[in-house]
Amino acid sequence: MWEKSIDFAQKVILLVEDLDTSRKHYRLVEQLESAVTSISMNIAEGKWRYSVKEFIRFLYIARGSLFETITLLLLFEKLSWIPIKTLIELQKDAEEITKMLNSLINSVKKKKDHKKIS
C-alpha cells in the first residue's frame, strides 16, 4: 500500500507537469502535490510511531489526503485541465489504495481490541 501510494503520487506529479493552465492557479497545483505526497508520508510516519493508536491516526490522515487529492483532480477535470480518462484511471488507483487503507485500519483496530481483551 505504501509503495502503491508512492506510485500514485508519481503519476499525479508527472500529470501536474503537463497541466494546461496558467500559472495563476499555482496554489491549487501545489496543494495537489502536497496532498498526494502526504498519503505515503503519513503511512510511513504512522508505521514508526510508538503506539497503535498513533498508527491508526496517521492512516486516517493518509486516507484524508487521498480524498483531498481526488477532490482536486475532480476540480481539475471540471476546469478541463486534465482529461476525463486520466481522472477515471486515477480514481481507480485511489479506490484501490482506499480499500487497502481501510483494510489495514480495520486489521490494526482488531489487533488492538484483541490485546485489550486478552
The tens digit of pLDDT for each residue in 47-65 reads 888 788 999 999 999 999 9
Give me the pLDDT at residue 73, please.
Answer: 97
Give me the pLDDT at residue 117, please.
Answer: 43
Query: Global pTM?
Result: 0.88
Give me the pLDDT at residue 48, please.
Answer: 85
CA 76 – CA 84 distance, rounded (Å):
10
Q: For the chain, list the domains and their CATH numbers.
A: 2-117 (1.20.1440.60)
Dihedrals phi, psi of 30, to nearest 5 degrees? -65, -35
Residues of the chain with pLDDT under 50: 117-118
Structure-block grid coordinates of residue 18: 503537463
118 three-class SS:
coil
Place of cell 495563476: 24
